[in-house]
Each structure stands twice: as C-alpha cells, then as structure tokens.
Amino acid sequence: MKRLLLPALMLMALPLAGCVYRMDVPQGNYVEQKQVSLLRVGMTREQVRYVLGSPVTVNPFRDDEWDYIYVERHGWDDPIQKNLFLTFTSDGRLSSMRGDFEKPSTFSTPLSD
C-alpha cells in the first residue's frame, strides 16, 4: 500500500506542474498622456523634469536628448512598451518630442516667459 501512495500523489500533482504564477513587472518611467499634454516648446530641463520626472536614459553621445521608456508585463501576456523621446536646444530648452504619445495641440507654441 505504501508503495502505491507515492506514485499516486505524483500523478495527482502532475496537472499542477504547469501552473506557475508570473508577477506583473513594470519597468521605467510611467508617463501618461495628461503629463505629455503639459509639455510646451521652450520649457527648461528643470520644468520637464518636474512634469515627467527624471528620464530613464540620457544619451551619452547626445546630451540634448532624453528618453522616457516604460515596459509593463502582465503575467504571460506580451509586454507593452511606451516611448517618449525629447530633444533640447543647446541652451537647454525643449524643442521637439516624438514617440507613442499624441502631441499636445499647443506644443508648437513657445512657452512665454
């Protein structure tokens, strides 16, 4: 009887072997459209950092570009990635943006000092 107990328990546990939980893993800067809508041409680096937070990466070869990258994995689903790339002029003012977010309608209007 004891010899049959171990194989029976192993057979009962076999269907559960593939049930492995994968935790949701967010990485990078979480940026929403409402934050991007606050961006304006001519904002200083400090103003952009206040609105969006510090960038994930600053291009070491181009000091005038900031990258905001966000990747989120939900369990076994494909990862979701959102990118926002900001470019600054030589005097540190925001000049352009590109990525997965809609440009605000007022983005081309320079910020008045």
**Of 52, 57, 56, the residue nearest 32 (C-alpha):** 52
pTM of the model: 0.73
Sign of the CA dihedral with 37 first, then 38, 41, and 47 last: negative
DSSP 109: S
Q: What is the pLDDT of residue 91?
A: 92
| pLDDT tens sequence across 42-98 | 999 999 999 999 998 777 888 889 999 999 888 778 888 999 999 999 999 999 999
Confidence of residue 17 (pLDDT cuts 50, 70, 90): low
* 35: pLDDT strictly greater than 90: yes
Type of residue numbered 10: M
Both tokens assigned to 45: 């680096």
57: β partners? 67
More confident residue, 34 or 15: 34
pLDDT for res 16: 65
CA distance 4 to 58: 63
Tens of pLDDT, residues 6-15: 777 777 766 6
Range list of H helices, the chain? 2-13, 33-36, 45-52
Rounded Cα distance between 111 and 40, Å, is 6
